[in-house]
Amino acid sequence: MIKVLFICHGNICRSPMAEFIFKDIVKKNEKDDMFVVESRATSSEELGNGIYYAAKEVLNRRGIPFDTNKYAQRLSKSEYENFDYLIYMDDWNLYGINKIISEDVYGKVHKLLAYAGLSRDVEDPWYSRNFDKAFEDIMLGCTKLYDFLLKNHN
């Protein structure tokens, strides 16, 4: 099993979108038995809150199923040991991850868009209000991450 954890600031927009986009890619490719996919936050600001309504709307419009009972959870230090890949959305998330895990000694922490050959962040739609752009970036990153994982774990 390849265990992937998507991470953003609050776990109500980008990381749950990535979780469900990636799960959809996996399901459509009939690789459900190969992956464990979840998402977390670096902050405690939104703990217990569900996926933000605008993120749900864009997932619905794009035909991506999601768990309506998903709620924000914070990354814990132990999850660094439990997951193979910790995938973050922006450099501020990396700062938050490092505060929690201390050090990425196993090289598990990666920026999502790096898998698409890009160094830029997935812009936070909470501030930009551009959930469609965030969706497109996340879809691109997740597609390339999926391809990378299949190529390197078969």
Domain count, the chain: 1
Interval 24-59: pLDDT, tens: 999 999 999 999 999 999 999 999 999 999 999 999
Which two structure tokens, joined as six digits, stand for 82? 């439990």
Catalytic residue at 13? no
> Which one of 121, 124, 137, 142 is the catalytic residue?
124
Each residue's pLDDT tens digit, 118-142: 999 999 999 999 999 999 999 999 9
- Structure confidence at residue 115 as a pLDDT band (50, 70, 90): very high
Which position among 14, 24, 90, 137 bears the catalytic label?
14
* Distance separating alpha carbons of residues 132 and 27, to the nearest angstrom: 22
Residue 145: predicted pLDDT: 98
Query: What stretches of the chain show up as alpha helix (H) in DSSP?
Result: 14-28, 53-61, 77-82, 91-101, 125-128, 131-152
- The number of residues in the chain equals 154
Tell me what the mean pLDDT of segment 48-76 comes to.
Answer: 97
Band of residue 85 on the pLDDT scale cut at 50, 70, 90: very high
Whether residue 154 has pLDDT greater than 90? no
Identify the active-site residue in 8, 40, 74, 90.
8
- Please report which confidence band the pLDDT of residue 75 belongs to, taking 50, 70 and 90 as the band edges: very high
Query: For position 6, what pLDDT does the model report?
Result: 98
Q: Catalytic site residue 84?
A: no
Please, what sign has the CA dihedral across residues 20, 26, 28, 34? negative
CATH classification at residue 123: 3.40.50.2300
What percent of the chain lies above the pLDDT cut of 70?
A: 99
Tell me the average pLDDT across 67-95. 97
The mean pLDDT of the chain is 97
Domain hosting residue 136, numbered range: 2-152
Active site residue 33: no
Give the pLDDT of residue 107: 97
